[in-house]
Amino acid sequence: MKYPTIIDSQQLFREPDHPLKAGLDPKCRSTKPLCPDTFAKVMKTIDTFIFDADGVLWLGESVMPGSPRLIDYLVKHNKQIIVLTNNATKSRAVYAKKLAKLGYNSSKMNKNNLVNPAAVVADTLHRAGLDGKRVYLIGEQGLRDEMDELGIEYFGHGPEKKQDEADGSGAFMYDIKLEENVGAVVVGYEKHFDYIKMMKASNYLREEGVLFVATNEDETCPGPNPEVVIPDAGPIVAAIKCASGRDPLTVGKPCTPAFNYIKRKWNINPSRTMMIGDRTNTDVKFGRDHGMKTLLVLSGCHQIEDIIENQMNERDDMVPDYVAPCLGALVPERI
């Protein structure tokens, strides 16, 4: 049966035909449902909570009901809170303003507690040392803001100039202008991505010494209308991987650069850290791959059926330790 996205946890988990109690292979990794009472017990074993954002803390421009109360609950119990989003279109400062506008605790949910691929990309390039070389950038304002903060020079963002295709010959492809002194190609979501950008990126990457860095490889991102597919950075990165024949260093979840960034900055103990998100292939896998506890909330992309499919396909790295309808379903009536 199809389970609703946001409903009372007691209603969801009392149903006798709940898929997680439907006789799965006992050798499969088990996922435990959480309610306020059980979450309170689990919380005692966790020092740091890492939250995905879209589909968990907010959906589009709207706050996820109940999520601010859970944050307040964790703050009251002196838990460390980190927000880790795979969205690089905006900077950490912009996301901090959004969280404050949506009613989140600004003392614990600010720029200093936020991580996104834009910040990790900028940090990666800064640590690599480009020796004065520039970055060819396919990406939105968030990447530019974070690279500006670290003094990294870039070009290529925004719409390409229209090529003269009046004769229909496609001759522009044989006379494409490439810049010199390029040290890296950075690829993320960009609404102006087109064939010319793909061609330029692929040609810059012919040079072995040019770094290829990607923000994330999410196929889609959640939105308020579940009937509309919203492509994320993944399809853009895939196009350039295919054309260039090179694999990028991807910094977003579930990849290790984001984990290393967090470990350096907060010195977390993975065994006492919980990753909470709405996707099994990014959030849950990120947590599992790096030794953290994991919680899937059903308020965004992936649902119970996705957990079952991962179990059946023996993808333990995408099976969460815990599941809940949404963050609000974990908060006791009185906090």
Known binding residues are 52, 54, 253, 278
Spatial CA neighbour of 239 closest among 194, 273, 280? 194
Q: Kindly tell me the number of DSSP H helices and DSSP E strands found in the chain.
A: 11, 14
Active-site residue flag, 167: no
Structure tokens at 256: 């290790």
Q: Which residues are annotated as a binding site for Mg(2+)?
A: 52, 54, 278
**CB atoms inside a 10 Å sphere around CB 266:** 15
DSSP 3-state percent helix, strand, coil across the chain (nearest 5): 40, 15, 45
Distances (CA, A) of 195 to 78, 154, 190, 220, 241: 50, 20, 13, 20, 14
- The residue annotated as part of the active site, out of 52, 218, 283, 321, is 52
d(CA 195, CA 201): 10
Please report, in range form, the residues annotated as the binding site for substrate: 253
- Judge whether 123 counts as a catalytic residue: no
Separation between Cα atoms, residue 293 and residue 206, nearest integer Å:
40
Q: What is the DSSP letter of 39?
A: H
Question: Which among 148, 146, 157 is positioned nearest to 120, based on CA atoms?
Answer: 146
User: What is the spatial distance between Cα 22 and Cα 28, in angstroms, rounded to a whole number?
Assistant: 13
Check 8, 17, 37, 54 and give the catalytic one: 54
- On the 0-12 / 13-18 / 19+ scale of CB atoms within 10 A, 54 is buried
The radius of gyration of the chain's CA atoms, rounded to the nearest angstrom, is 21
Active site residues: 52, 54
